[in-house]
Chains A and B, each alone.
Chain A
């Protein structure tokens, strides 16, 4: 009686999907247009008649692309499922057949025939030369593929998966398909190209030669005074950074949670810094302080007569910059860990006659051990993935992420070498990620549930108290100095030589003049600034949606293969941005998906790099909501979708807003992946700043960075205001912030 009686006896969801598929094949242009789909130029310039603009059906009929013909027929296999009277199990079989075969043929023909005709030599040998070619897929193909995907998931649901809930299965299908397409497929392309020589032939020996290159693995810095390989450099730096940030982070966490220090709130705001700091900024500030013409260097030179050197360029500089950049992240993680140590356990130890030192070393510290390991591994991964700081401060100390960059853009132009280096870097980070998952709890998404616990936390032993304060407080002061440098650095002529006040850099970057036709954004930075804002905003919405969808599937639904699903979606935590950048240009520069040089590739890279932020925010928020709320709604006859829309989404508003803002902010500060993906039309702020830095134009770079910081602070402040301090307490804010910031 509730099942909406449909007079026609047809299943509406199946009908809608079939209509969607037909629209994709008959109405929309099959291939991508250079002008972009939204230009709608395909409508006016030929459409059906033009071999570049015609929809799939007319490609077959008029333009001789016969290999698209099966795509007209395969979706029709779903027709038997259209009848409401057909048993669900049987209908499901037809739907699965239709969806799977359509997708399979779509992929096969897409990869088999590219811009040069046959893509695989055995096909050419079998059928002879093709005499035709095809470019990247466009709106029509995307629509057909989407419809086919949902036909497939509808079929799987009909056969009883996920309690027969088509919405859940569709959601899983969507996430799996997009993660496979935009994370796993590009990574596999990297693996493949590592085994090819520069002519595209399979060449394992070349791979072996590149892989065993002494420039990568040499250990001669241990035996002789010579330089070590880039892999060891990276590992060494990562271990130093991981250990350093963990220790400092612990000191901060202890000062904030366990001492009577009065400015705790100020210290806590430090945790916001890594989120709003563009990647080169810390490095630049360090140069301004310790570079040859840096403030500290000159001061030391004037008073102690030590000649200015270039010692900061290399390991010391990178390490210092990474410590500054990543200590707040360890701090953030360890606040949770320290607060997770139940005070009643410490009180119990004390009533058993342990003094405060014994309690600390035998109870508190051992309880924190997994958290410390977690912080170390996070720092390790961050350091490995870091690109901006080594680029600015590296000097002769090469690390993997920058080497990958130079292998692609430098004089070498050796994609094979870049791929090999990317594989090595990826192996290191995946290993660390795996270790973190394995030892430090199954899921890095899970939040510590703040269960109420009586008892007051124990004050620290005197020695520890003093040690923590004397480590944390000077460091906090140092951080403040660094950020002060960034603010002032934009207002002086030339740092270190001419300290007179000027607005020159700001004017050069952000001037607005009144021209004949109104305002003219004449500053040199405006172009990249607006592009950045636009791309970041455009990517934030899908990032939040797919993140929350994934979180909801993980927290609220049960399905086979859930753990694999969880691992797959978390993997992008561990993939360094440089690796993603390389993999995207390898994978998406040729048909069937040809999107390099567009804004779409930037948006997609942001979505999948920042997806974990949305997932984290969603999981944190969802685990606070009683699951019987959803169940109550379901038993009250609401569908899964209605439940999501009317119950969960309104309750998740703060989490959604947070996910949106953090996705936006992270997109603004991303650099490692995008340096590979930007183009003349789509230049981004970070890339523009990088260009200024390379030209030694520090003033402008710093001025621009200050503006970015301001914009992001504004965004976060606005969000806090909207959500309200009550709904999103300080602790939750901390949790929602991305713990990873693999810039």
Chain B
């Protein structure tokens, strides 16, 4: 299937005085796709989003929407809509006027604008609330008004700037699902910014991880989790334990890896023999009470915490401290007990040192 490209960044750089906020970033977003920009604060993800909107203009590089260059086009002329972190609902207008605003300022007759605004409000589940003022709505409802106001224009790209960060934790999952539903129903190309990795994995078709103004990795959620390209991505997504290991030999796609006393057979991922890092997911470690002299990896439980659905352990081993999540909550290991560690086939990945 040949993918239609809606948005393309070509070596885009943004400088604020001396500070480089985004450095030579290139990526594409396919039509109908939802792509998330993920990264710690200050990594340049919001600046990237604002450059898509036209609220910032790049210092270098070019931006294309549907193969038309928009690099210097101001926000007004880009046909891109945005849902703001603070929702940015106009406090002096009713909900309906807020949603109809974009239509009326671009010349749609008032009656038609209001009718379309009503329809869109119904679409986001707020039919009949158009007469209220924004301050009379709950946080979740305000959020949906912001979405309605953005999608009523049928923009070429819909942007989300941390849209869930002002909601409480319980509401967040539901609103996230609603957003994804609306996005898929309309098939609208979307770019989403967040610093919450779980949110990013849950909502996206693809995730672009950013670090220090550059793209660290770009891929579907599963690929990021299972095959992180470096220690930063491995650590940022899903709390990997990073332990030093050595690649003894490489045969085709597979590598023999020495870790403490263990010899593991793992995908080589293009690495050569020598020192490397092993990303170990907390769920990939299985703990057994150590019996006698084990040939494998043995460690001592230093911390154990009961979280209801699972246990969290910190285990000190010869290769370093490991954070372990264990679904077994009945037969637990007390702090101080010695345990043997075994690794499952999933949740291990080699990354360059």
Contact = CB atoms under 8 A, between A and B. Distances in A.
A160 B74 CA distance: 10
B102 interface: yes
A639 interface: yes
A266 interface: no
Contact of A647 (B78, B90, B102): B90
A3 B88 contact: no
A397 B76 CA distance: 62
Given A632-B82, A637-B105, A638-B102, A164 B72 contact: yes
B101 interface: yes
Q: 3 nearest interchain CB pairs?
A: A636-B102, A632-B88, A628-B88
Contacts of B153: 636-637
A634 B74 contact: yes
Contact of A635 (B53, B89, B90, B91): B53
B75 interface: yes
Interface string B123-150: 0000000000000000000000000011
Interface string B92-123: 10000000011001100000000000000000
A163 interface: yes
Given A646-B105, A647-B90, A634 B76 contact: yes
B297 to A, nearest CB: 48
A224 B220 CA distance: 90
Contacts of A637: 76-77, 79, 102, 105-106, 153
B81 interface: yes
Interface in A437-495: none
A634 B75 contact: yes
Contacts of A635: 53-55, 75-76, 78, 80-82, 150, 159
Contacts of A2: 76-77, 79, 106
A200 interface: no
B263 to A, nearest CB: 55
A629 interface: yes
Interface residues of A, number: 25
B94 to A, nearest CB: 13
Contacts of B217: none
B92 A638 contact: no
A524 interface: no
Interface of A: 1-3, 160, 163-165, 626, 628-629, 631-640, 642, 646-647, 650-651
B101 A633 contact: yes
A638 B101 contact: yes
Nearest to A626: B86
Contact of B77 (A3, A629, A631, A632): A3
Interface string B41-64: 000000000000111010000000
B343 interface: no
A728 to B, nearest CB: 16
Given A163-B74, A628-B86, A634 B106 contact: no
A639 B88 contact: no
Contacts of B88: 626, 628-629, 631-632
Given A628-B84, A632-B82, A638 B105 contact: yes
Nearest to A4: B107
B332 interface: no
Contact of A636 (B54, B55, B81, B91): B81
Nearest to B73: A164
B139 to A, nearest CB: 15
A631 B84 contact: yes
A165 B54 CA distance: 12
B91 A638 contact: no
Contact of B92 (A3, A160, A634, A650): A650
B317 interface: no
15 contacts: A1-B79, A628-B88, A631-B53, A631-B55, A631-B75, A632-B90, A633-B105, A635-B53, A635-B75, A635-B159, A637-B76, A637-B105, A639-B76, A646-B105, A651-B92
Nearest to B75: A634
Contacts of A638: 76, 101-102, 105-106
Contacts of A646: 101, 105
B85 interface: yes
- For A164, A631, A640, the residue with the greatest tally of chain B CB atoms inside 10 Å of its CB is A631
A629 to B, nearest CB: 5
Given A637-B76, A639-B76, A631 B82 contact: yes
Contacts, number: 80
A646 B97 CA distance: 11
Nearest to B84: A628
A651 B81 CA distance: 23
Contacts of B105: 633, 636-639, 642, 646
A646 B91 CA distance: 12
Nearest to A640: B76
A626 B86 CA distance: 8
A2 B159 CA distance: 19
B92 A636 contact: no
A635 B49 CA distance: 12
A2 B70 CA distance: 14
A165 B85 CA distance: 25
Nearest to B161: A628
A621 to B, nearest CB: 13
Nearest to B57: A163
Interface in B17-61: 53-55, 57
Contacts of B149: 632, 636
A662 B135 CA distance: 31
Contacts of A634: 54-55, 74-76
A696 B101 CA distance: 64
B74 A165 contact: yes
A556 to B, nearest CB: 12
Contact of B90 (A1, A629, A639): A629
Contacts of B79: 1-2, 637
A445 B301 CA distance: 59
Contacts of A633: 90, 101, 105
A639 B78 CA distance: 12
A738 to B, nearest CB: 27
- For B74, B76, B82, B89, the residue with the greatest tally of chain A CB atoms inside 10 Å of its CB is B76
A178 B292 CA distance: 90
Contacts of B75: 631, 634-635
B76 A632 contact: no
A3 B101 CA distance: 18
A164 B75 CA distance: 11
B142 to A, nearest CB: 12
A636 B101 contact: yes
A633 to B, nearest CB: 7
Contact of A160 (B72, B86, B89): B72
A558 B85 CA distance: 22
Nearest to B101: A636
A633 B102 CA distance: 7
Nearest to A651: B92
A628 B85 contact: yes
A163 B74 CA distance: 7
Contacts of B101: 633, 636, 638, 646
Interface string B284-328: 000000000000000000000000000000000000000000000
A21 B20 CA distance: 43
Nearest to B83: A632
B84 A632 contact: yes
A631 B82 CA distance: 9
A484 to B, nearest CB: 44
Nearest to A645: B105
Contacts of A626: 86, 88
Given A634-B75, A635-B76, A638-B101, 20 more contacts: A2-B106, A3-B77, A164-B74, A626-B88, A631-B75, A631-B84, A632-B84, A632-B89, A633-B101, A634-B54, A635-B75, A635-B80, A635-B82, A635-B150, A635-B159, A636-B149, A636-B153, A637-B102, A637-B105, A642-B105
A165 B89 CA distance: 24
Contacts of B86: 626, 628
